[in-house]
Amino acid sequence: MNVAPAIMDFPDRLSPMVVKELRQGLRTRLFGGVLLTLHIMLVLLTLMSGGAENTAAVSGWFDGIVTLVLCIIMPLRGFSAVADEIKSGTLDMLALTRLSAGRIIFGKWAAIASQSLLLMLSILPYVVARFVFGGLDLFGEIAALFYKWLAGVVIAAVIVALSTQRQFWLRTAVIFLVMTHMGTRAASSSMFTYFTKLGGPSSSLLLVGMAAWAIFFFLSLAATRIAPSASLLSVVKRSVHFVMILSLLLLGWLTGSAADIGLIAAGVLTLLMIDALTERVNEAPSVYAAFYQRGWPGRVALWLLAPGWVTGFLYSALLVALVAVFVGWTLSVEEAKLVAVSAAGTWMIAALVQLFSTRKSRDLLPPFIIFWLIVNVMIAILGIPLMASLSMRSATAWFTCALPQFLSSGYKTAQAGDKAALLDFGMLSSCIWPTVLLIAAVFAWRHARGARQEGWRMIHGKNGGTAD
Amino acid sequence: MDRSQPAVVVEDLHRTFGTLKAVDGVSFSIDHGRVVGFVGANGAGKTTTMRIMATLDSPGSGRVCMGGHNVVHHPAKVRRLLGWMPDSFGTYEHMTVLEYLDFYARALGFKGADRLRRIQEVMDFTDLTPLADRMSNKMSKGQTQRLCLGRALLHDPQILILDEPAAGLDPKARVELKNLIRILAQEGKTILISSHILSELGEMCDSLLFIDKGRIVHHGDAESMVRGTETAGETLVNVQIAGEPAKLIEWALTAPLIKVEEETKRGARLRIQSTDDATLAGVLRRMIQDGLPVLDYHREERRLEDAFIDMLGQIDRNTFKAQPPEGLPQKNTEDAK
């Protein structure tokens, strides 16, 4: 048998992972079923949209079905994308090929994105038909369809990132919370408000830019979780994230919308911190050797860009300082303090992870998520009712000083005369968490000293002095 | 690949998971073109050692070099030399045999006609050509195992690590696997195979590595292993009787100089504390005199399984004398005692 005719369906230039995922994905019953059902429903809706009296109802159904397919059903196909590879042992086999962790993850996501794109393109004729029969705004509808696809591929990136976690319940809980949060708060969030205010092509460009960064963030987060210990993913991703934060701050300064941009930057900062603070300390000498090879700039970069949460802590401190200074300079010192306290909330979770679960966990992200869930549930059950009762009595919720995540809510509802004191107390009590992390970081850094020394010897030989 | 050095060198390898010492000072080396069996009970440290060798895990301490390249310093170079077949064969849903091999060939960097030629060669070697259009997850275990061996061979690696390749295979598939390994060995590939089926490893391998509780306890050929655990002055005899074997066991338990090694379907394997022919004949005579309906009575060679079990027993009693690992200093062996 000659294999050639049977296997030339995809060109060589396509990533092997994308080819594999597309071959598998297009054959699944789910994809076929969704495609068929979607088209049956859209044909019916298009036929129904002829009458002017039911246009709004039909549009609602049309949007609902398309959103369901593009933003929920298709992204959820990534739910077990990596977890299944881990469970069946095929991830090890992939690791031994020339595919990097980044390409594996990108392939998983790109297959979902391209299948969603296929579905979106197949919907276009119905949009045109509805324009012809129903007199809709064609370009507006096409733009809306594109944004739904864009939202869908960002959600797919989140879900693919989560699929690196083996625990089914953890993935389900986080997806449920994220979906609920997005559903209830997306429309009112500062990001959307800001984009709406901008209007026109610049808002579209920014939205696409933010979506592209979000996809990069979640895919690189996922790649870090499955990458071999000797990989240097942190250098690329931390550099990109740093540029992203700088661009946002610059944009805020240039457009004079520091308040909105500052809030967006603070949100982005939280995500970056989670990634940086949940990386395992790297003990592969070749990782450190790559820095030492580049002389003193490399040795300086090592402190901020080397893989692991220790350097991640320093990196996050640098970014927090940068955003806080920007907010303090453009808005107010109080706002800058709130940014710092909000960051301390993320450091608090990372410190809890270091204190209670590092020995048992190979990956620090699951314990981080668990502690984050516990803290938020505690706030919801105990904190919110307590604050509501204090608010009814017009009293300041001083207890929010103790919990950085809760301080901004306490600050907003505090009596005018108490605000400054509340913030200062909050700042003071929040200092405990970066201090705990700093102490843990010193120990972890010392623990990896052998690997750094070995990395140093790889470059400078045995008589080349010491790494630290 | 630098052929002046051994294909595989493992020196004082340690790996712990929490408080568990999975690998505790393992040292051995394997020369080019050798087929080595890696034997040990579940949890002995085989898979952890093999995963470190395959760059899938990091050593806690110690040095592992594959084809002259350190697995920690140059993992990418090691991967190019290495074919890895895990115990979970790992196939995909909705993917044919041909697509499966095509995917891995692409992932290994093969392009265009080169890729097709290599896939065809591997399919011919593993006899998968008639199954090219079969879904990869809908095949028998033997076929799946051949597919995974084919995948591991796509980039023509010089070193092969096969983790339990024969687990769960029927006898026909085992023979096929044995033949494939024999051909690969003739091509000069260095092969490390872990397995529980010791008799087959004895036939296939040039030498055997025995690991127990994370330490290498023996490295040598099958005969030296059998000899190493043999108790001097004893003979193993296989006896079959008509009727219930319980009668024979009962008799053996009361007889002097005789121990029951193992009960069999129609009798038992007995260990007689003598090598003298006259004594052995005397034992048979006594059996007949005591009314045992003996159908068969013959001297038996010690099996590798017996030697392994004996060795584990001797280790537990601290009486086992470990063989020095080939090509390495005595110090490492002493650690293993």
Q: Does A30 touch chain B (CB under 8 A)?
A: no
User: Do A205 and A242 have their domain in common?
Assistant: no
How far is A103 from chain B, CA to nearest CA, in Å?
10
Q: Do A3 and B119 touch (CB under 8 A)?
A: yes
C-alpha A436/C-alpha A50 separation (Å) is: 66
Which chain A residue lies closest to B155 (C-alpha atoms)? A97
Q: Does B19 touch chain A (CB under 8 A)?
A: no
Q: Does A293 touch chain B (CB under 8 A)?
A: no
User: Do A180 and A238 have their domain in common?
Assistant: no
Per residue in A133-173, pLDDT (tens digit) is: 766 778 888 888 899 999 999 999 999 999 998 888 888 88
Q: Which residue has the tokens 């989140």?
A: A158
Give the number of beta-carbon pairs within 8 Å between A and B: 101
Sign of CA dihedral A296, A301, A303, A309: negative
Q: Give chain A's domain count.
A: 2
Q: Do B98 and A7 touch (CB under 8 A)?
A: yes
Enumerate the H helices of A331-396 as residue ranges. 333-356, 365-378, 384-392
How far is A228 from chain B, CA to nearest CA, in Å?
7
Per-residue pLDDT band for A286 (boundaries 50, 70, 90) equals confident
CATH class of the B231-299 domain in this structure: alpha beta
User: Do A341 and A421 have their domain in common?
Assistant: yes
Residues of chain B positioned with their CB less than 8 A from the CB of A3: 98, 116, 119-120, 123, 132
User: Do A211 and A80 have their domain in common?
Assistant: yes
Asked whether the predicted pLDDT for residue A52 surpasses 80, the reply is: no
A155 within domain boundaries? yes
User: Do A287 and A348 have their domain in common?
Assistant: yes
Greatest alpha-carbon span in chain B: 79
Per residue in A358-413, pLDDT (tens digit) is: 555 668 888 998 898 888 888 888 877 887 787 777 777 788 888 888 888 888 88
Secondary structure tally for chain B: helices H, strands E: 12, 14
Q: How many CA atoms lie within 13 A of B326 on its CB side?
A: 17
Task: Tell me which amino acid residue B218 is.
Answer: H
Q: Does B213 touch chain A (CB under 8 A)?
A: no
Best mutation site among B70, B101, B106 for testing chain A: the one with the most A CBs within 10 Å?
B106
CB-nearest to B95 from A24, A95, A228 is A24
Per residue in A86-142, pLDDT (tens digit) is: 888 888 899 899 899 999 999 999 999 999 999 999 999 888 887 777 667 788 888
C-alpha B65/C-alpha B59 separation (Å) is: 12
Q: Do A24 and B120 touch (CB under 8 A)?
A: no
User: Do A184 and A318 have their domain in common?
Assistant: no
Q: Does A27 touch chain B (CB under 8 A)?
A: yes
C-alpha A441/C-alpha A434 separation (Å) is: 10
How far is B183 from chain A, CA to nearest CA, in Å?
23
Q: Which of residues 28-57 of B touch A (CB under 8 A)?
A: 51, 54-56
Contacts of B48 (CB under 8 A, 6+ apart): B15, B22, B23, B57, B214
Residues of chain B positioned with their CB less than 8 A from the CB of A98: 107-109
Q: Which residue has the tokens 């790889």?
A: A458
Pseudo-torsion of CA B63, B67, B69, B75, nearest 10°? -100
Q: Which residue has the tokens 């996922």?
A: A222
CB-nearest to A98 from B18, B55, B108 is B108
Residue A49 has a CB neighbour count (10 Å cut-off) of 22
Helix (H) or strand (E) holding B191, with range, is strand B190-194
Asked whether the predicted pLDDT for residue A50 surpasses 70, the reply is: no
Asked whether the predicted pLDDT for residue A178 surpasses 80, the reply is: no
Kindly report the pTM of this predicted structure. 0.80
Strands (E), B242-290: 258-263, 267-272
User: Do A404 and A366 have their domain in common?
Assistant: yes
Residues of chain A positioned with their CB less than 8 A from the CB of B93: 24
Q: Are A296 and A467 in contact (CB under 8 A)?
A: no
Which chain B residue lies closest to A6 (C-alpha atoms)? B98
Q: Do A285 and B88 touch (CB under 8 A)?
A: no
Secondary structure tally for chain A: helices H, strands E: 23, 0
What is the reported pLDDT for B81? 92
Q: Which one, of B188, B168, B166, B167, lies nearest residue B177 by Cα? A: B166
A107 within domain boundaries? yes
Q: Do A286 and B129 touch (CB under 8 A)?
A: no
Residues of chain A positioned with their CB less than 8 A from the CB of B94: 23-25, 27-28
Output the six-digit token pair for B64: 């592992």
ipTM: 0.79
User: Do A336 and A319 have their domain in common?
Assistant: yes
Residues of chain B positioned with their CB less than 8 A from the CB of A357: none
Asked whether the predicted pLDDT for residue A197 surpasses 60, the reply is: no
Helix axes A285-292, A295-305, angle to 10 degrees: 130
Please enumerate, as own/partner, the contacts of A302-306 that have beta carbons within 8 Å and a separation of 24 or more.
Answer: A304/A238, A305/A234, A305/A235, A305/A238, A305/A239, A306/A234, A306/A235, A306/A282
Q: Which of residues 229-268 of B touch A (CB under 8 A)?
A: none
Best mutation site among B99, B128, B151 for testing chain A: the one with the most A CBs within 10 Å?
B99
Residue B133 has a CB neighbour count (10 Å cut-off) of 11
User: Do A236 and A214 have their domain in common?
Assistant: no
User: Do A72 and A205 have their domain in common?
Assistant: yes
Which chain B residue lies closest to A13 (C-alpha atoms)? B111
How far is A175 from chain B, CA to nearest CA, in Å?
25
User: Do A316 and A421 have their domain in common?
Assistant: yes
Q: Does B88 touch chain A (CB under 8 A)?
A: yes
Q: Does A362 touch chain B (CB under 8 A)?
A: no
Give me the sheet containing B235-241, strands edge to edge: B258-263, B267-272, B235-241, B294-299
Which chain B residue lies closest to A284 (C-alpha atoms)? B72
C-alpha B230/C-alpha B238 separation (Å) is: 17
Of A201, A223, A245, at which residue does a domain stop? A223
Question: Which SS3 state, helix, strand or coil, does residue A273 take?
Answer: helix
Q: Are A309 and A364 in contact (CB under 8 A)?
A: yes
Q: Are B166 and B174 in contact (CB under 8 A)?
A: yes
C-alpha A343/C-alpha A240 separation (Å) is: 20
C-alpha B298/C-alpha B283 separation (Å) is: 12
C-alpha B79/C-alpha B69 separation (Å) is: 10
* Average pLDDT, integer, range A44-65: 75
Per residue in A416-458, pLDDT (tens digit) is: 888 888 888 888 999 999 999 999 999 989 988 888 888 888 7
Residue-number span of the structural domain to which A149 is assigned: 14-223
CATH topology of domain B8-91+139-227: Rossmann fold (3.40.50)
Residue-level pLDDT, tens digit, chain B, 337 residues: 666 788 999 999 988 877 788 899 999 999 999 999 998 888 888 999 999 999 988 887 889 999 999 888 888 899 999 999 988 777 888 889 999 999 999 999 998 889 999 999 999 998 888 998 899 888 888 889 889 999 999 999 999 999 888 877 778 888 888 888 888 988 889 999 998 777 777 778 888 888 888 888 888 777 776 666 666 678 888 999 998 888 899 998 888 888 888 888 889 988 888 888 888 899 999 999 998 999 999 987 777 777 777 777 766 666 555 444 444 433 333 333 3
Structural domain boundaries in chain B: 8-91+139-227, 231-299
How far is B29 from chain A, CA to nearest CA, in Å?
22
* Average pLDDT, integer, range A223-228: 87
Which chain A residue lies closest to B109 (C-alpha atoms)? A98
What is the reported pLDDT for B227? 65
Q: Does A285 touch chain B (CB under 8 A)?
A: yes
What is the reported pLDDT for B330? 38
| Eight-state DSSP code of residue B96 | B
User: Do A238 and A213 have their domain in common?
Assistant: no
